[in-house]
């Protein structure tokens, strides 16, 4: 039976491309917001959700850090997607035919050198995939869209010019979320554990909480902090480590962490993906 996989955005969005890469034989379910994406998994409309958590150029996706810990869902996987910007046009369109380009303002900014070189007028769109859809619908050869190759396939457009972004290292990390935890077996290679915690209100609590990971040789690959409910004194930390909770070193690190925290929750234990393998 074909499963439904929820993602935020229109068909052809980069999140859709990540969803297709992870679940090529399943049905992608587009959702308007991150809240809708999470709700689709919570209420069973989708088996999994695919959400972006950070980008190599723009940092973390703040909404996910607030929504995911309170969702009751689990992280079951990750995927790194290389973000390649392409100039799309109607079938048969040549570069010299295009006088204006439409896309999300961020995408336009990432392709500033190409746009300036070819003296293209810019049009701000709601998102990359939506811009591709509008170009396909309007049928105007003088206007192109900046979007993914996947969007070109979805809307029947040509890639007039490929990989036109200024920065070659633009990559987004996506998380797979589910109602059920799907932990790799203990001893599996390249396992990542994600958790959230809040430190006690005592001097040097965070420093002491982190000490257990250093002394036990557990590599912490991410540590993010953010305020809770708009309070300057209530802070939650989001962390990724390499290792399985059943590993003795991780157990000892978590045990030491517990002495200095008043809240701790594992969001997921899942196979680690390699950023170098981003596609």
- Domain regions of the chain by residue span: 4-83+170-178, 86-161, 191-277
Scan for tokens 């993906």, then name that residue: 273
What pLDDT sits at residue 276? 73
Q: Cβ(52)–Cβ(249) under 8 Å?
A: no
- In 3D space, the residue among 122, 7, 40, 75 whose CA is nearest the CA of residue 266 turns out to be 75
Maximum CA pair distance of the chain?
A: 66
**CATH class of the domain at 191-277:** alpha beta
**CATH class of the domain at 86-161:** alpha beta
What pLDDT sits at residue 167? 86
What pLDDT sits at residue 77? 98
What pLDDT sits at residue 234? 63
Same fold for the pair 4-83+170-178 and 86-161: yes
Scan for tokens 């040509």, then name that residue: 158
**CATH class of the domain at 4-83+170-178:** alpha beta
275/217 Cα distance (integer angstroms): 22
What pLDDT sits at residue 230? 61
Active site residues: 172, 174
What pLDDT sits at residue 126? 87
What pLDDT sits at residue 12? 96
Residues of the chain falling short of pLDDT 70: 229-234, 277-279
Radius of gyration from C-alpha coordinates of the chain? 21
What pLDDT sits at residue 109? 92
**3-class DSSP assignment, residue 127:** coil
């Amino acid at each position: 039976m074909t499963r439904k996989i929820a993602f935020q955005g229109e068909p052809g969005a980069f999140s859709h491309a990540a969803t297709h890469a992870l679940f090529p034989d399943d049905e992608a379910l587009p959702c308007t917001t991150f809240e809708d994406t999470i709700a689709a998994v919570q209420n069973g409309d989708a088996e999994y959700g695919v959400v972006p958590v950070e980008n190599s150029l723009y940092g973390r996706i703040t909404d996910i850090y607030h929504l995911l810990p309170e969702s009751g869902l689990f992280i079951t996987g990750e995927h790194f997607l290389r973000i390649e910007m392409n100039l799309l046009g109607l079938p048969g369109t040549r570069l010299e035919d295009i006088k204006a380009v439409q896309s999300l303002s961020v995408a336009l900014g990432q392709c500033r050198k190409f746009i300036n070189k070819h003296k293209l007028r810019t049009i701000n769109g709601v998102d990359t995939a939506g811009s591709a859809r509008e170009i396909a619908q309007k049928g105007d050869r003088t206007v192109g869209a900046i979007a993914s190759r996947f969007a070109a396939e979805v809307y029947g457009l040509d890639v007039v010019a490929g990989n036109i972004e200024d920065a070659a290292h633009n990559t987004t990390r996506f998380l797979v979320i589910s109602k059920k935890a799907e932990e790799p077996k203990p001893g599996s290679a390249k396992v990542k554990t994600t958790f959230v915690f809040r430190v006690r209100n005592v001097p040097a609590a965070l420093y002491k909480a982190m000490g257990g990971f250093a002394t036990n040789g557990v590599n912490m690959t991410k540590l993010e902090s953010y305020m809770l409910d708009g309070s300057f004194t209530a802070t939650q930390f989001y962390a990724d480590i390499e290792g399985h909770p059943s590993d003795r070193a991780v157990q000892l690190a978590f045990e030491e962490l517990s002495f200095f925290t008043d809240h701790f929750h594992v969001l997921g234990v899942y196979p680690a993906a390699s950023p170098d393998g981003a596609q």
